[in-house]
Structures are given as C-alpha cells and as structure tokens.
Amino acid sequence: MGAMSQQITDSLRIAAAQLNPTVGDLDGNLAKARAARAEAAAARADVIAFPELFISGYPPDDLVMKPAFERACRARIEALAAETADGGPAVLIGAPWREDGNLYNAYCLLDGGKVEAVRFKVELPNYGPFDEKRVFVPGPLPGPVNLRGVRVGIPVCEDIWIEEVTECLMETGASILIAPNGSPWWKGKFDQRQQVALARIVETGLPLVYVNQVGGQDELVFDGSSFALNADRTLAFQLPAFQSAVAVSHWAPQNGSWRCIDGGGVAALPDEAEALYRACVMGLRDYVEKNRFPGVVLGLSGGIDSALVAAMSVDALGPQRVHCVMMPYRFTSNLSIADAADCARALGVRYDTVPIAAPVEACEAALQPLFDGAARGVTEENIQSRMRGVILMAISNKFGAMLVTTGNKSEVSVGYATLYGDMNGGFNPIKDLYKMQVYALSRWRNEHRPDGMLGPLGAVIPPSIIAKAPTAELRENQTDQDSLPPYDQLDDILECLIELELSHAEIAARGHDEKLVSRIENLLYIAEYKRRQAAPGVKVSQRNFGRDRRYPITNAFRDTPRKDA
C-alpha cells in the first residue's frame, strides 16, 4: 500500500464498500474488509467506508447480548485498526461496542494503527423488522470525526431519517456526511431512501455518501444501491442493486463545499419486476449458501407457484443443485404431469416421480375404523398434502438438500395451505408475493434473465402453466376459485387488510362486497396459528408475515358493523 497517511484538506478519495457480510462470521467478515481495503488502496483511496455493523453482520439481534460475541467483535476491530499503521486507507466500519457499561451500535474510524474515533447510532429503529431498542442504547448527538484533516459527519442508518442528528453534525462543523446503512429492500425503497437523503441535504447543505450492505440475512434482503449526492442535490454516483461492489469516488472543495469530481458512474436501478425477482433469488441463494446446504429439493406440481420457485432456485444455485419431484395421485391431471416434466426439462434439473397412492391409501386404511361413517372431505385432501410433505422431507433428510416450500402470500394469508404438508420446508422465496405477483413474475422471467442468474435463457415456465386455472388438485375438478374469490380481488382485499390496515368500509369503497371482506378478514385471523409455524421467506413488501406483523393467535376481534349503529 502506498504512503497515504499524511493529512489532506484539498482532496478526498472515498471507497464505498457495498459488501455481503454474514451474521456471526466474524473472521469471514474481517477477511472481506481486508480484501476490500487492499482493493481500495490499489485505487489510491484515502478511506474505505463499510456498512453498518459490518464486523458482526446485520442485524445480529440478541446475539449481541452475548458477552463472548461482543468481545470477539471488538477484537476484530482492534486487529484491523492495527493494520492501518501501514499507511494505507483509513477505515470506517461498524461493530457493536460497549462503553461505560452500555452497548451501542457503533461506527469506528480506524487510522494510524489505532481506533481513532467511535460514534454511536442515535435513532434506534423499533418497527417492522427492526428491534434495536431491545439490544442497544441510543448514543448522544454526535460531532464529526477528523479524517485526515476533513471533518466527516457519521449519521448511522436510521439517523438520516430524522433531522436532529445531521443538523447537529452540520452545526458542529461537519463538511461531508458518510452514512453507513443496513437498509433492507422492499417495494418502493429506492425512491424512499433518496427522498430521505435529499431532505437531509436540503436542511444541512452538506453532501452525503450513502453506503449500504448487500445480501440476504434470514428473511431480509439488502440491495446495496449505495449512492452519493452533492450539496446541490445532484447524483454523484450510484452503485448497482443486488451486487457487491467496491467503488472509489474523488471529492474536492468547490465554492465552499465538498463536491464529487469523479464518482465512477451511475448504475441503472432495476424496475419493480426485476427488483422483486432479484430480491427473491438473492434471499434464497444466501439462505442456502450461508447455512451451507448443498442444494434444494421441492415438489413440482405442474402449478404456477412451484414452477416459479423452481426457476428462482435454478437462477440462485444452478440446475445441478436443484432437485424437483412430482408426486402424482389419482386427482393429478395428465396436463399437470406433462407441465411439470416440461418445466423441469426447460430448467435442466434432476426430476423424479414418486407416486403417493400407496402411502395415502395406507393412511386412510389405518384411519378407516375411526372415520367409518363420516363423509370424505378436507381431512382426506390434507392426507394427500401431508404424504407429499413426508416424502419431500425424507428426500431432504437422506441427501441433505433443503426443502423449499412454495406457498404464496395470498394462500398463506387465508390458510389455503396444509400444515405439515405443503407448508413443510426450510425457506420460501415467494412467501411475501401475492398470487398475481407470482403470475406477473413468471411471465417476466420467461422474457428476461438478469445478469448473475444461473438458469437458462428463454422461457423456463411452460405457457400452459401460466394459462391454466390454479388448482391444488386434491379432489376431482377442483380449482382454487371453488373456495376463494378471483385472485385479483383477493389480493387487493388482502393488501388493504395487511399492508394498509383499512377498515371494512374503506375496503368496500374500493368496490369490494363487504360480506366478502368480512369473510376474508376472518380467514386471515384464524390462519395465524399456521403462519406461526411456516418457514421463513424473503420479505419484499412493507409488511410481511413475521416480524412486521405480530398479530395474536387468540384473537376475537372482527371489524364488523355494530348492530346498534
């Protein structure tokens, strides 16, 4: 590394490290930081900035309350700090940090062989997927750090969503803001972030460098999409979404404020369909890779949901790591059998057929003395689903591949899924996609293959799968609309109930029958116990099932008109 340790005031080369950490993999995260710093040094950077809590991985949740973990994070920070004595780039990096008995979400300046300064996150988010007030203490309003003669303000993630922190930094002499983030992606997030950043720039008159992490962590997906804005609100640079990157921008004082004179370019951000697809694929890929599964297995039914999940699995992992299984019964149509085979062939995956007639009939025979005289119904339908779940779990146990489950948000919302049957699995990439989104993304994937996808070009989901009426095929001539309203209606009602929390009257005003709305709300509430037992899955909406929406299982409330009204 070159001699870079002298104080500078007329130029600053900032490397933004948009990288993919793993929660708890402290040595792996440190290795990524070292490699990125070497890359930044080769590009003559003065400083490299990493995302929020990079050493621990984000979000670490209650793991940070473990003293051994906290000490191990600090040891890695101190080791990296010692390496900055080599004269290379200074390092800005996040870690949990205990001081005076309090645990903080901290961001550290490492330079000259030591921890030069530490700043603490002030605004701790406590909504949706965030629960930082549970584990961290909020820091005091910060002043800037002295980065080789440049006064740099460090608002950590949520700190730029309020006015006080950046105003304090401006008033105490900061000349540029570097904001480290662990900001998950969901629909609408690109615009939302930039509007927040613009508001802070308008208020302070300071340029801002926004550094975000990338990658999947359990249900969250981080898209990166790091960017910088000049003080005049122009876009200085934009890094790509859903890709790791280390990018160096060159800044210099102009007309009384720092300005980016070379940002390295502006990457185009994906449209909504591509972003949704990329998020689902990245979430699945990182869940499999970070938990060290050799691959995935799934039931391929000939229906739209399993076909899209199969395509996402191949795009995430490659066809050699995806195993699809058709499990026909007497209600499975010849068209479904043909469609599943065509889909597997288009994707290039291993495809096996395991008929379920023998285990289903053996189970029914065992239960016959108890069920004698009772009419056939949902119980027998569920036996079919549960036998499929048993078979898929056996394959998963035998060969180590993770079972991927394939229920969409519409079905899971109203309980149109079988506990211990088609809900079996370790992860669900489409858990937060409504049925109409599943159709839209299936059509989209047949026409597009984004960079980085490992599946084939061209149509990978047979058109007949997209065209036919959705059905679970658990009884003769069954379709989903026997039990549910058309999915375009259902999805709108569900979005109103889940994401928007609208009243029945407000939903009816959108053109929906209020009795139908009441029925759907009731189904939503009584299926809560199933959702508590469902596999985790990628969050792509503002309110997914999980940490975003914590409804009680035992719940007698219904939004019905008062009889005395």
β-bridge pairing 296-299 and 402-403: parallel
User: What is the full DSSP assignment across 165-220?
Assistant: HHHHHHHTT-SEEEEEE--B--TTHHHHHHHHHHHHHHHH---EEEEE-EEEETTE
Query: In this predicted structure, what is the pLDDT of residue 478?
Result: 55
Query: In this predicted structure, what is the pLDDT of residue 479?
Result: 64
As a whole number of angstroms, the distance between CA 429 and CA 440 comes to 15
The model's pTM is 0.92
Residues 6+ apart with CB under 8 A from 323: 295, 296, 297, 298, 349, 350, 352, 395, 399, 401
Does the fold of domain 273-480 match that of domain 12-268?
no
Query: In this predicted structure, what is the pLDDT of residue 480?
Result: 60
Query: In this predicted structure, what is the pLDDT of residue 251?
Result: 94
As a whole number of angstroms, the distance between CA 70 and CA 65 comes to 7
- Return the amino acid letter for 16: A
Asked if 280 and 286 touch (Cβ cutoff 8 Å), the reply is no
Q: Which two tokens stand for residue 494?
A: 């569900």
As a whole number of angstroms, the distance between CA 234 and CA 176 comes to 15
Using CB atoms within 10 A of its CB, is residue 499 exposed (0-12), middle (13-18) or buried (19+)? middle
Pick the CATH number of 12-268 from 2.40.110.10, 1.10.8.50, 3.30.830.10, 3.60.110.10: 3.60.110.10
Query: In this predicted structure, what is the pLDDT of residue 7?
Result: 41
Do you find a cis peptide bond into 138, omega within 30 degrees of 0? no
| 273-480 CATH | 3.40.50.620
Residue positions annotated with a catalytic role: 52, 121, 157
- Put residue 218 in one of left, alpha, beta given phi > 0 → left and psi -120 to 50 → alpha: left
Domain ranges for the chain, please list them.
Answer: 12-268, 273-480
Query: In this predicted structure, what is the pLDDT of residue 373?
Result: 87
Asked if 41 and 2 touch (Cβ cutoff 8 Å), the reply is yes
**CA 121 to chain centroid:** 22
> Which helix (H) or strand (E) is 111 found in, with range?
strand 102-111
As a whole number of angstroms, the distance between CA 261 and CA 73 comes to 36
Residues 6+ apart with CB under 8 A from 110: 77, 80, 81, 84, 90, 91, 92, 93, 116
Query: In this predicted structure, what is the pLDDT of residue 404?
Result: 97
Query: In this predicted structure, what is the pLDDT of residue 546?
Result: 83
Please report, in tens digits, the pLDDT of each residue of the chain (565 residues total): 333 334 457 889 999 999 999 999 999 999 999 999 999 999 999 999 999 999 999 999 999 999 999 999 999 999 999 999 999 999 999 999 999 999 999 999 999 999 999 999 998 988 878 889 899 999 999 999 999 999 999 999 998 998 999 999 999 999 999 999 999 999 988 889 989 999 999 999 999 999 999 999 999 999 999 999 999 999 999 999 999 999 999 999 988 889 999 988 999 999 999 999 999 999 999 999 999 999 999 999 999 999 999 999 999 999 999 999 999 988 888 898 999 999 999 999 999 999 999 999 999 999 999 999 898 888 888 898 999 999 999 999 999 999 999 999 999 999 988 989 989 999 999 999 999 999 999 999 999 999 999 999 999 999 999 988 666 555 565 566 657 788 899 999 999 999 999 998 899 999 999 899 999 999 999 999 999 999 999 999 988 888 888 888 888 888 876 454 4
Dihedral pair phi/psi, residue 157, rounded to 5°: 50, -100
Helix axes 304-317, 334-347, angle to 10 degrees: 10
Asked if 146 and 117 touch (Cβ cutoff 8 Å), the reply is yes
Cβ neighbours, 10 Å, residue 539: 26
